[in-house]
Amino acid sequence: MKLFSSVNDVTDIKQLVASALALKANPYAHSDLGKNKTLGLVFMNPSLRTRLSTQKAALNLGMNVMVMNMDKEGWALETQDGVIMNGTTVEHIREAAAVMGEYCDVLGLRSFPKLQNREEDYNEEFFNKFVKFCGVPVVSLESATRHPLQSLADLVTIHETWETYRIDAKAKPKVVLAWAPHIKPLPQAVPNSFAEWMSRAQAEGMLDFTIAQPEGFELNENFTSGAKISHDLDEAIADADYVYVKNWSSYKEYGKLLDFPEGWMMDNEKLKLTSNAKVMHCLPVRRDLELASEILDGPNSLVIHEAGNRLWSAQAVLKAMLEEIK
Amino acid sequence: MKLFSSVNDVTDIKQLVASALALKANPYAHSDLGKNKTLGLVFMNPSLRTRLSTQKAALNLGMNVMVMNMDKEGWALETQDGVIMNGTTVEHIREAAAVMGEYCDVLGLRSFPKLQNREEDYNEEFFNKFVKFCGVPVVSLESATRHPLQSLADLVTIHETWETYRIDAKAKPKVVLAWAPHIKPLPQAVPNSFAEWMSRAQAEGMLDFTIAQPEGFELNENFTSGAKISHDLDEAIADADYVYVKNWSSYKEYGKLLDFPEGWMMDNEKLKLTSNAKVMHCLPVRRDLELASEILDGPNSLVIHEAGNRLWSAQAVLKAMLEEIK
Amino acid sequence: MKLFSSVNDVTDIKQLVASALALKANPYAHSDLGKNKTLGLVFMNPSLRTRLSTQKAALNLGMNVMVMNMDKEGWALETQDGVIMNGTTVEHIREAAAVMGEYCDVLGLRSFPKLQNREEDYNEEFFNKFVKFCGVPVVSLESATRHPLQSLADLVTIHETWETYRIDAKAKPKVVLAWAPHIKPLPQAVPNSFAEWMSRAQAEGMLDFTIAQPEGFELNENFTSGAKISHDLDEAIADADYVYVKNWSSYKEYGKLLDFPEGWMMDNEKLKLTSNAKVMHCLPVRRDLELASEILDGPNSLVIHEAGNRLWSAQAVLKAMLEEIK
For residue B49, the model assigns a pLDDT of: 97
Dist. CA B314–CA B312, nearest whole Å: 5
| Range B254-272 average pLDDT | 97
Contact at CB, C103 and B31, closer than 8 angstroms: no
For residue A86, give how far its alpha carbon lies from the nearest alpha carbon of chain C (Å).
6
Q: Are residues A98 and A222 in the same domain?
A: no
Dist. CA C293–CA C285, nearest whole Å: 10
B284 upstream amide cis, omega within 30 of 0: yes
Q: Which of B78, B84, B103 sits opposite A56 (nearest CB)?
A: B103
Q: Which of C284, C289, C307 sits opposite A84 (nearest CB)?
A: C289
Residues of C in contact with B296 (CB under 8 A): 94-95
Q: Are residues A84 and A206 in the same domain?
A: no
Dist. CA C207–CA C155, nearest whole Å: 10
- Burial, B324: exposed, middle or buried (Cβ in 10 Å; 0-12, 13-18, 19+)? exposed
Residue A282 annotated as binding site: yes
Dist. CA C139–CA C107, nearest whole Å: 6
For residue C308, the model assigns a pLDDT of: 98
For residue C144, the model assigns a pLDDT of: 98
A284 upstream amide cis, omega within 30 of 0: yes
Q: What is the pLDDT of residues A90-106, one digit of tens each?
A: 999 999 999 999 999 99
Residues 6+ apart with CB under 8 A from B97: B129, B130, B132, B133, B134
Please state the φ and ψ torsions of residue C77, each to the nearest 5 degrees.
Answer: -100, 140
For residue C326, the model assigns a pLDDT of: 72
For residue C85, give how far its alpha carbon lies from the nearest alpha carbon of chain B (Å).
5
Banded pLDDT at A71 (limits 50, 70, 90): confident
Residue C72, Cβ neighbours under 10 Å: how many?
14
For residue C111, give how far its alpha carbon lies from the nearest alpha carbon of chain A (Å).
14
B261, pLDDT greater than 90 = yes
Dist. CA A193–CA A199, nearest whole Å: 10
Q: What is the pLDDT of residues B25-43, one digit of tens each?
A: 999 999 999 999 999 999 9
Residues of A in contact with B41 (CB under 8 A): none
A169, pLDDT greater than 90 = no
Q: Are residues A142 and A81 in the same domain?
A: yes
Dist. CA A289–CA B92, nearest whole Å: 12
Residues 6+ apart with CB under 8 A from A134: A97, A98, A100, A101, A107
C284 upstream amide cis, omega within 30 of 0: yes
Contact at CB, A75 and C284, closer than 8 angstroms: yes
| Cα separations in angstroms, C145 against A121, C48, C138, C182 | 41, 19, 16, 19
* Number of folded domains that form chain B: 2
Helix (H, G, I), strand (E, B) or coil at A65: strand
Q: Which residues of C have a CB under 8 Å from any CB of B?
A: 36, 38, 40, 64, 66, 68, 70, 72-75, 78, 81-86, 89-92, 94-96, 98-100, 102-104
Q: What is the pLDDT of residues C241-295, one digit of tens each?
A: 999 999 999 999 999 999 999 999 999 999 999 999 999 999 999 999 999 999 9
| Range B14-24 average pLDDT | 98
For residue C187, give how far its alpha carbon lies from the nearest alpha carbon of chain B (Å).
28
B326, pLDDT greater than 80 = no
For residue B73, the model assigns a pLDDT of: 84
Closest chain A residue by Cα to residue B77: A284
Residues of B in contact with C36 (CB under 8 A): 27-28, 31, 60
Mean pLDDT, rounded, of chain A = 97
Contact at CB, B293 and C82, closer than 8 angstroms: yes
C309, pLDDT greater than 80 = yes
Q: Are residues C142 and C159 in the same domain?
A: no
For residue B203, give how far its alpha carbon lies from the nearest alpha carbon of chain C (Å).
31
Q: Are residues C77 and C192 in the same domain?
A: no
Banded pLDDT at C222 (limits 50, 70, 90): very high
C82, pLDDT greater than 80 = yes
For residue C248, the model assigns a pLDDT of: 98
Q: What is the pLDDT of residues C166-214, one digit of tens each?
A: 988 899 999 999 999 999 999 999 999 999 999 999 999 999 999 999 9
Q: Select the residue from C35, C39, C44, C66 to test the B interface by mutation, using most B Cβ atoms within 10 A.
A: C66
Q: Are residues B256 and B282 in the same domain?
A: yes
Contact at CB, A95 and C285, closer than 8 angstroms: yes
Q: Are residues B140 and B102 in the same domain?
A: yes
Interface chains of chain A (3 or more CB pairs under 8 Å): B, C
Residues of A in contact with C50 (CB under 8 A): none
Helical H runs in C168-277? 189-203, 233-237, 268-271
In chain C, % of residues over pLDDT 70: 100
For residue B72, the model assigns a pLDDT of: 83
**Could you tell me where the beta strands, DSSP code E, fall in chain B?**
3-4, 38-43, 64-69, 77-78, 91-92, 106-110, 138-140, 174-179, 208-212, 228-230, 242-246, 278-280
Q: What is the pLDDT of residues B175-191, one digit of tens each?
A: 999 999 999 999 999 99
Interface chains of chain B (3 or more CB pairs under 8 Å): A, C
Contact at CB, A183 and B82, closer than 8 angstroms: no
Dist. CA B269–CA B253, nearest whole Å: 31
Banded pLDDT at A75 (limits 50, 70, 90): confident
Q: Which of B40, B73, B86 sits opposite A286 (nearest CB)?
A: B86
Q: Which residues of C have a CB under 8 Å from any CB of A?
A: 27-28, 31, 43, 46-49, 51-53, 55-56, 59-60, 69, 72, 183, 283-289, 293, 296-297, 303-304, 307-308, 311
| Cα separations in angstroms, B211 against A53, A69, A203 | 46, 44, 73
Residue A231 annotated as binding site: no
Helix (H, G, I), strand (E, B) or coil at A284: coil
Banded pLDDT at A21 (limits 50, 70, 90): very high
Helix (H, G, I), strand (E, B) or coil at C290: coil
Residue A49 annotated as binding site: yes
C228, pLDDT greater than 90 = yes
B115, pLDDT greater than 80 = yes
Q: Are residues C154 and C303 in the same domain?
A: yes
C58, pLDDT greater than 80 = yes
Residues of C in contact with B183 (CB under 8 A): 86
Q: What is the pLDDT of residues B133-160, one digit of tens each?
A: 999 999 999 999 999 999 999 999 999 9
Banded pLDDT at A159 (limits 50, 70, 90): very high
Helix (H, G, I), strand (E, B) or coil at A282: coil
For residue C84, give how far its alpha carbon lies from the nearest alpha carbon of chain A (Å).
31
Q: What is the pLDDT of residues A32-65, one digit of tens each?
A: 999 999 999 999 999 999 999 999 999 999 999 9
For residue C51, give how far its alpha carbon lies from the nearest alpha carbon of chain B (Å).
16
Q: What is the pLDDT of residues B75-113, one digit of tens each?
A: 889 999 999 999 999 999 999 999 999 999 999 999 999
Q: Which of A28, A43, A296 sits opposite B36 (nearest CB)?
A: A28
Q: Select the residue from B55, B73, B132 to test the A interface by mutation, using most A Cβ atoms within 10 A.
A: B73
Residues of B in contact with A288 (CB under 8 A): 83-85
Dist. CA A317–CA A5, nearest whole Å: 11
Q: Which residues of A have a CB under 8 Å from any CB of B?
A: 27-28, 31, 43, 46-49, 51-53, 55-56, 59-60, 69, 72, 183, 283-289, 293, 296-297, 303-304, 307-308, 311
Beta strands at A138-140 and A3-4: parallel, antiparallel or unpaired:
parallel
Residue type at A152? L
Banded pLDDT at C27 (limits 50, 70, 90): very high
| Cα separations in angstroms, B48 against A21, B127, B283, C95 | 39, 20, 10, 11
Q: Which of B38, B78, B95 sits opposite A56 (nearest CB)?
A: B38
Residues of C in contact with A103 (CB under 8 A): 52-53, 56, 308, 311
Q: Are residues C84 and C154 in the same domain?
A: no
A309, pLDDT greater than 80 = yes
**Could you tell me where the beta strands, DSSP code E, fall in C95-254?**
106-110, 138-140, 174-179, 208-212, 228-230, 242-246
Residues of A in contact with B89 (CB under 8 A): 286
Contact at CB, A283 and B95, closer than 8 angstroms: yes
Banded pLDDT at C129 (limits 50, 70, 90): very high
Q: What is the pLDDT of residues B199-226, one digit of tens each?
A: 999 999 999 999 999 999 999 999 999 9
Choice between B272 and C71, residue whose per-residue pLDDT is larger:
B272
Residues of A in contact with B66 (CB under 8 A): 51-52, 55-56
Contact at CB, B90 and A284, closer than 8 angstroms: yes
Please state the φ and ψ torsions of residue C279, each to the nearest 5 degrees.
Answer: -110, 130
Dist. CA A109–CA B163, nearest whole Å: 55
Q: Which of C36, C81, C95 sits opposite B303 (nearest CB)?
A: C95
A80, pLDDT greater than 80 = yes
Contact at CB, A66 and C56, closer than 8 angstroms: yes
Q: CATH number, domain at B158?
A: 3.40.50.1370
Q: Are residues B159 and B142 in the same domain?
A: no
Annotated binding-site members of C: 47-50, 75, 110, 142, 147-150, 182, 246, 282-283, 286, 310
Dist. CA C41–CA C106, nearest whole Å: 9
Dist. CA B70–CA B59, nearest whole Å: 22
What's the domain range around B230? 150-307
Contact at CB, B287 and C104, closer than 8 angstroms: no
Q: Select the residue from C94, C102, C130 to test the B interface by mutation, using most B Cβ atoms within 10 A.
A: C102
For residue C167, the model assigns a pLDDT of: 85
Q: Are residues A80 and A175 in the same domain?
A: no
For residue A326, the model assigns a pLDDT of: 72
Q: Are residues B160 and B125 in the same domain?
A: no
Residues of C in contact with A100 (CB under 8 A): 48, 52
For residue C93, give how far its alpha carbon lies from the nearest alpha carbon of chain B (Å).
10
